[in-house]
């Protein structure tokens, strides 16, 4: 991803574990951090639905 110009952020494992536990207790199937990745998830979903090439291949 970095080679394609997309910065890579690393979330500490303790934060990931906390989010997973909260998601399990809330009976959530998709565990997407609010606000942080919503735009990226929406963009990727639209790319898939439009059957377009991923951004890194354009």
Distance CA(17)–CA(37), nearest Å, equals 17
**CA atoms within 13 A of residue 3's CA, in its CB half-sphere:** 1
The secondary structure of the chain in percent helix, strand, coil, rounded to multiples of 5, reads 55, 0, 45
Residue 51: per-residue pLDDT: 96
pLDDT tens digits for 16-51? 999 999 999 999 998 877 777 888 889 999 999 999
Q: What dihedral do alpha carbons 5, 54, 13, 22 form, nearest 10°?
A: 140
Residue 47: per-residue pLDDT: 95
Give the domain ranges of the chain. 2-57
Query: Residue 9 — pLDDT band, cuts 50, 70, 90?
Result: confident
């Amino acid at each position: 991803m970095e080679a394609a110009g997309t910065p890579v952020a690393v979330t500490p494992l303790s934060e990931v574990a906390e989010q997973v536990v909260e998601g399990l207790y809330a009976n959530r199937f998709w565990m997407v951090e609010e606000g942080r990745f919503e735009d990226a998830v929406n963009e990727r979903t639209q790319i898939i639905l439009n059957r377009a090439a991923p951004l890194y291949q354009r």
